[in-house]
Amino acid sequence: MRSKASIIIITTVFALFHIIVVAIPVVTSGGSGETQGFAAAIFDFPIAWLLGMFPAGRGVLYGSSQTPYVLIFSIGGTLMYAAVGALLGYALHRIIRAFRAARAMKYQLVFQFRGDSLADYDAMIELEDALIEQLRGAAKVDGHDMGSGERNIFVFTSDPPATFHRARPVLERRHQLESVTAAYREVESDEFTVIWPEGSREEFRVT
């Protein structure tokens, strides 16, 4: 509800800006005079440019009848600004929501495979894709690396144990549950806590 309100507010602000700067001068002057012409040409440039592309449009811009001109730049221009405001409001809402989600996901969960397990690159990519699908909406799979005798898949999450529980069926289906070590850390920390295998006391690190 709050996000819809912000979109409506930004849409309204853009529409009011156009009404004050362009629509009122155009309407009150009847479409005549340099002041309104300058405002329309500058602030409604897309409309003026589009009209200038066609003979009928040029007739609106330079013809003797001002009614179409007034209607297009007062109403059409206001609707254009409202649409731009709505798009910007929606984009801003998505950016803020993504930023909040990123801040909420303050843990990095690592699925680590050593030795010969998951040594095949294509198999690792297939597992990563399966985890992306399985964890969609709950956590963000953030890529992988290979080297130094280990393969790692990285996940950002707000709840590492719950994320591992959700990912477990994928690991079981691909016969990787017994060969994976899962550990997490806070994004700002270097200290990992191992959650799988259960009760493991091995030191965990990503090399």
Q: If you average pLDDT over residues 22-33, what whole number do you get?
A: 94
The pLDDT tens digits of the residues spanning 40-72 come to 999 999 999 999 999 999 999 988 789 999 999
The pLDDT tens digits of the residues spanning 102-128 come to 667 889 999 999 877 777 888 899 999
pLDDT over threshold 80, residue 197: yes
3-state secondary structure string across the chain: CHHHHHHHHHHHHHHHHHHHHHHHHHHHHCCCCHHHHHHHHHHCHHHHHHHHCCHHHHHHHHCCCCHHHHHHHHHHHHHHHHHHHHHHHHHHHHHHHHHHHHHHCCEEEEEEEECCCCCCHHHHHHHHHHHHHHHCCCCEEEEEEEECCEEEEEEEECCHHHHHHHHHHHHHHCCCCCCEEEEEEECCCCCCEEEECCCCCCCCCCC
- Quote the pLDDT of residue 1: 54
- Quote the pLDDT of residue 102: 67
- Quote the pLDDT of residue 63: 83
- Quote the pLDDT of residue 42: 95
pLDDT over threshold 80, residue 10: yes
* Residue in 58, 54, 37, 48 with CA at minimum distance from that of residue 80: 48
Q: Say which residues have a Cβ less than 8 Å from residue 43's Cβ, sequence separation at least 6.
A: 18, 21, 22, 77
Q: Which CATH number fits domain 105-196: 3.30.70.270, 3.40.50.1110, 3.30.70.600, 3.40.50.1100?
A: 3.30.70.600
Percent of the chain with pLDDT over 70: 97
pLDDT over threshold 80, residue 155: yes
pLDDT, averaged across the chain = 91
- Quote the pLDDT of residue 2: 61
The pLDDT tens digits of the residues spanning 123-148 come to 899 999 999 999 998 899 999 998 77
> Quick one: pLDDT band at residue 3, thresholds 50, 70, 90?
low
Q: If you average pLDDT over residues 172-188, what whole number do you get?
A: 93
The pTM assigned to this predicted structure is: 0.56
Q: How many CB atoms lie within 10 A of CB 54?
A: 10
- Quote the pLDDT of residue 121: 85
Beta strand 180-186 with 140-147: parallel, antiparallel or unpaired?
Answer: unpaired
Spell out the domain ranges in the chain.
2-102, 105-196
